[in-house]
Amino acid sequence: MAEQPVAAREAAEQVVRNSYGRLLALLAARSGDIAAAEDALADALERAVTIWPATGAPANPEGWIFTVARNRLRDHYRSAAAQTSVVLHDVNGFDETWDDISIDSIPDERLALLFACAHPAIDPAMRTPLMLQTVLGLDANLIADAYVIPRPAMAQRLVRTKRRIRDTRIPFHVPDRSEMPARLTAVLEAVYGAYAIDWRGISGTTLRDSLASEAVYLAELIADLLPNEPEALGLAALLRLSSSRASARVEPSGEPIPLDEQDLSLWDAVAIERGETYLRSAYALRQIGRFQLEAAIESAHCARAKTGRTDHRALLALYDALLHVAPSLGAQVARAATIAELNGPEAGVAALDGISSAGVERFQPAWATRAHLLAQAGNTVDAVHAYEKAISLTTDAWTRTWLRERATRVIAAGTP
């Protein structure tokens, strides 16, 4: 008999894992009140854990939970309307019986929820945490820890953001064609933000990858729901391809391994193929964009697993195109490194000299790249100076050790 509560709990947990976002989106879409929908869903899940051990889990757990949550929500609005003059939300639309309907046949409102989370009126810094909590059902404490923000502070910001969505009536709908490009960019950037959380660079922290797989899931969800949006497909391709090398990127000790020294057999071939499939679908729509270009750059690196070489000429064309649509310091430095591969270290240094963007003089990768190229060119004195500057800007211990080793080698080779 001891297994039964466990089985019931597992059934409820299964619902959370697979369907939380779908149920929440459906409950919140009509009223725009995410917090009330979360409360109702939490109540329903709690009831499931209480009741299912005695009754056994129902044949259609999602339908059961949705019905209970919907009734809760309806009660909530009725009592709110009775107590105050709150406008009664569209409760009538909730009257259908869902008990015998499978989760796959009910409308998927998650896209609408994602667009609400990344609405222009929402603080960009809160879009990603809100998506993680509402669409994936991630615990607010886990989100706070990943961002290294005190838990109550994150909880308070999430509550405020949801209140704002409700009070300002931010609509839950998928934008039409005219709005789509700008709105979709905001959604995709928020998902990318979950992949690239990186305040770190401090040794001893291991949260770096904790949200990466959640981001990949969200990107693929959006790509699957918007199969005609090339940038949505591009982001799914980018994150799949980039994460395919995750286990080759660090030593068991935590030491990072540079791309050209990674063990190619550790690259995940299945993930690469999946990323390539998204990228091909994106290309077929013939409308290039930032995420597709970044995915294509990843793809060019991944190709080394098959061909044994990197096509630097193709990479240079991709960086040029990327800088045209989405200029960034990182891409400019990577372009200079690619030029060095093609035309020698002096040409790479000249390309670095050509970067005039603000902040380049305190951009660590620019100094580290300059140091390597100067060392290759045999300019020991300037290389050592550039290494010193790069080291002073490096807060990560592994990277600093690696730079110091390189600098020591350059000095040793440069002294007769």
Partner 1 sequence: MRYTLLLNNPEPEDVNISEEDMEPARAAFDAYAKSLADAGALVNVDILQPVAASTTVTLRNGSLQIQDGPFADTKEKLNGVFVIDVPDLDAALAWAEKCPATQYGVVEVRPTALFFADGQWRSSQ
Residues found near partner 1 in the complex (CB under 8 A):
144-145, 147-153, 199-205, 361-362, 364, 388-389, 392-397, 400
Nearer to partner 1, 273 or 361 (CB): 361
The set of residues, in sequence order, having a beta carbon less than 8 Å from that of 194 and lying 6+ positions away, is: 128, 131, 132, 211, 212, 214, 215, 218
Nearer to partner 1, 278 or 367 (CB): 367
Alpha carbon 380 to its chain's center? 41
For 230, phi then psi, to 5°, come to -60, -35
Q: How far is the CB of 19 from partner 1 (least distance, A)?
A: 30
Q: How far is the CB of 328 from partner 1 (least distance, A)?
A: 17
Nearer to partner 1, 161 or 243 (CB): 161
Q: How far is the CB of 191 from partner 1 (least distance, A)?
A: 21
Q: How far is the CB of 363 from partner 1 (least distance, A)?
A: 9
Q: How far is the CB of 202 from partner 1 (least distance, A)?
A: 5
Q: What is the 3-state secondary structure (H, E, C) of the chain?
A: CCHHHHHHHHHHHHHHHHHHHHHHHHHHHHHCCHHHHHHHHHHHHHHHHHHHHHHCCCCCHHHHHHHHHHHHHHHHHHHHHHHCCCCCCCCHHHHCCCCCCCHHHCCCCHHHHHHHHCCCCCCHHHHHHHHHHHCCCCCHHHHHHHHCCCHHHHHHHHHHHHHHHHHCCCCCCCCCCCCHHHHHHHHHHHHHHHHCCCCCCCCCCCHHHCCHHHHHHHHHHHHHHCCCCHHHHHHHHHHHHHHCCHHHCECCCCCECCHHHCCHHHCCHHHHHHHHHHHHHHHHCCCCCHHHHHHHHHHHHHCHHHHCCCCHHHHHHHHHHHHHHCCCHHHHHHHHHHHHHHHCHHHHHHHHHCCCCCCHHHCHHHHHHHHHHHHHCCCHHHHHHHHHHHHHCCCCHHHHHHHHHHHHHHHHHHCC
Q: How far is the CB of 159 from partner 1 (least distance, A)?
A: 13
Nearer to partner 1, 133 or 243 (CB): 133
Nearer to partner 1, 108 or 396 (CB): 396
Nearer to partner 1, 194 or 226 (CB): 194
Spatial contact of 240 and 271, defined as CB atoms under 8 Å apart: yes
Nearest to 247 by CA among 268, 219, 216: 268
Nearer to partner 1, 138 or 322 (CB): 138
Nearer to partner 1, 209 or 396 (CB): 396
Nearest to 149 by CA among 211, 209, 199: 199
Nearer to partner 1, 152 or 327 (CB): 152
Q: How far is the CB of 118 from partner 1 (least distance, A)?
A: 21
Nearer to partner 1, 200 or 249 (CB): 200
Q: How far is the CB of 369 from partner 1 (least distance, A)?
A: 16
Q: How far is the CB of 156 from partner 1 (least distance, A)?
A: 8
Nearer to partner 1, 297 or 403 (CB): 403
Spatial contact of 195 and 208, defined as CB atoms under 8 Å apart: no
Q: How far is the CB of 244 from partner 1 (least distance, A)?
A: 28
Q: How far is the CB of 167 from partner 1 (least distance, A)?
A: 23
